[in-house]
A and B are shown apart, each in its own frame.
Chain A
Amino acid sequence: MAVGRQGEPVSSLVGRRRSPLASLPRTKRIRLIRGAQYAVFVLVLLLVALTVDWPTIREGYFNLDKARPLFPTILTVALKNTVVYTAMGFAFGLVVGLFFALMRLSQVTPYRWFANCYIEFFRGIPLLLWLFFLGYGVPTATGRQLPFSPYSAIVLGLGMPAAAYLAETIRAGIQAVPRGQMEAARSLGMSQSRAMISIVIPQAFRIIIPPLTNELIVLTKDSSLVAILGVAAGTQELTKFGRDELNTLVNATPLVVAGLCYLLITVPLSIVVRRLEARNARAR
């Protein structure tokens, strides 16, 4: 068609070429598009449902016969150890992180410089490499295990990098407390350190509870990396346990169950974070 409907040149029609939908009323058009979106979704679901080999999936990943022997050890030992390792790493990270946060805010230049180096170092190196270093590098170099092995390697391995991240979070929290709070405390005769401990730090922690909880979730998952430390039967955590059972049972179900166990920890934490953030948003 070289000429438009009403004899206009094509060039003037190109700009207002309209889709066939455009002629429909707006509500009808929206309903049609929405319907198409649902249809695509259902179609893909159907396609997956029909093409997937369900018996193999059930047999290989969701095998109840293979899952049953995992209990209760996966809860009483593996899940417990994951929680304990995460808690130890987090506690270490909080204490050391607070220390480095205060150093970063110090008037003493070498303190700031040292804290910066620490934070940059541990934020920059991969956790896996650090764990290899503690678990295998140090014993190879010194010919000795770290004392209190494997707990020392676990706490330092998870805690020292966590301290670097937490230091930055805590520093941000301290700086988010309005300057007037410190001034009010000082004007009442509190010393700098007393005002920090009684007034500023408690408020800083309130501000950073959501990011702290996020760090805790990340650390929960990172604790899986201690699996490479080759910890013994009583001290294995979820990932190591799942992997060992994968070998024993020659079935992937233990990995699926281990994954669900992580969700048992992380999903409630996520819900807590969302609630806290909603509450903070309201308070503002």
Chain B
Amino acid sequence: MYRTVPEDATIVVRDLHKRFGALEVLKGIDFHVNRGEVVCVIGPSGSGKSTLLRCINQLETATSGQVFVAGTEVTDPDVDIDAVRRRIGMVFQQFNLFPHLSVLRNLTITQRRVLHRTTAEAERIARETLTKVGLDDKVGAYPAQLSGGQQQRVAIARALAMDPELMLFDEPTSALDPELVGDVLAVIHDLASDGMTMMVVTHEMAFARDVADRVVFMDGGVVVEEGPPAELLGNPQHRRTQDFLSRVLDPTRAQPKRSGG
């Protein structure tokens, strides 16, 4: 029953179920991300896409099923999860920078505490990474002194400074003012061009069309449809995908649903 996935896929998810009490959020997900691939996950809120992403690095514990990251089963209860997470960068909707530390220290503290790099080496890598996201002039600033877009770019740099094999993005632009979204998407775009393996949960359809190798549409805890962005976004096959896309792409014309909305 498993779809055949390439042996070297960076993320492999098999029949994943996640239940919060009586609520079943993921109802049997089969999913994979190949090395160097950019996969955007779209879907209405409550569809389980963020939960799926958080199951990849075990911020949520799966109820049943398996998740493999670069060949390691992260759903194995005996796995050294800290070691696995070192290889997975994660970017949150709310940035989650450490507010008590300067930008530089935000980037160096995990390098030093987790990778045991020397202070000099950690700072060199931090500065390089900050240059990559265009914020090398902010090393001494504190997160509260930065705009949302700058904070999110620092958060991306913080994850990149750990040399991850793949990056997870959980709605990275949803908490940003519209005029700041572009800078953050540009950074993610650059990463994609560099060949980084990425899984991006997003509402930015234009970005998904532009950057993704594959788009996955989730609804009601299952993967409804997936395919190349032009196909899935341009010519969706399922009723639910069509419905969702018409709402997102043309919100002023959408009919209110009878429940929720």
Contact = CB atoms under 8 A, between A and B. Distances in A.
B is a partner of A = yes
A181 B100 CA distance: 11
Contacts of A183: 59, 92, 96
Interface in B89-136: 89-90, 92, 94, 96-100, 109-110, 113-115
Contacts of A203: 98-100
Contacts of B57: 187
Given A198-B109, A206-B100, A188 B159 contact: yes
A185 B94 CA distance: 14
Q: In this complex, which of A181, A194, A198, A203 has the most chain B Cβ atoms within 10 angstroms of its Cβ?
A: A198
B144 interface: yes
Interface stretch (B13-21, B39-47, B79-87, B205-213): B79-87
A188 B110 contact: yes
B114 A188 contact: yes
A91 B82 CA distance: 34
B49 interface: no
Contacts of B96: 178, 180-181, 183-184
Interface in A174-233: 178, 180-181, 183-191, 194, 198-199, 202-203, 206
B189 to A, nearest CB: 22
A187 B85 contact: yes
Given A189-B85, A189-B162, A202-B100, A180 B92 contact: yes
B32 interface: no
Interface string B42-62: 000000000000000101000
Given A188-B85, A189-B162, A198 B113 contact: yes
A47 interface: no
B155 to A, nearest CB: 8
B196 to A, nearest CB: 16
B245 interface: no
Interface string B189-201: 0000000000000
B81 to A, nearest CB: 8
B85 A283 contact: no
Contacts of A191: 82
A188 B57 CA distance: 10
Given A181-B98, A198-B113, A206-B100, A186 B59 contact: yes
Nearest to B85: A189
A100 B175 CA distance: 37
Contacts of B158: 188
A64 B83 CA distance: 72
How many residues of B sit at the interface, in one of the four size bands?
Answer: 20 to 34
A188 B162 contact: yes
Contacts of B88: 187
Contacts of A198: 109, 113
Given A194-B113, A283-B144, A186 B85 contact: yes
A190 B110 CA distance: 7
A199 B162 CA distance: 17
Interface in B203-249: none
Contacts of B159: 187-188
Nearest to B106: A184
A203 B106 CA distance: 14
Nearest to A197: B113
A184 B162 CA distance: 13
Contacts of A187: 57, 59, 85, 88-90, 159
A187 B98 CA distance: 13
Contacts of A202: 100
B59 A189 contact: no
B57 to A, nearest CB: 6
B54 to A, nearest CB: 8
Contacts of B89: 187
Contacts of A181: 96, 98
Contacts of B59: 183, 186-187
Given A184-B96, A206-B100, A189 B110 contact: yes
Contacts of A186: 59, 82, 85
Interface string B146-188: 0000000001001100100000000000000000000000000
A199 B110 CA distance: 10
B92 A190 contact: no
Nearest to B59: A183
A186 B85 CA distance: 8
Contacts of B115: 189
Interface of B: 57, 59, 82-83, 85-86, 88-90, 92, 94, 96-100, 109-110, 113-115, 144, 155, 158-159, 162
Given A180-B92, A188-B162, A190-B114, 10 more contacts: A178-B94, A184-B92, A187-B89, A188-B110, A188-B159, A189-B83, A190-B113, A191-B82, A194-B113, A194-B114
User: Which 10 A-B residue pairs are closest in the complex by CB-CB distance?
Assistant: A189-B86, A184-B96, A187-B90, A180-B96, A188-B110, A189-B114, A189-B85, A189-B82, A203-B100, A202-B100
Interface of A: 178, 180-181, 183-191, 194, 198-199, 202-203, 206, 283
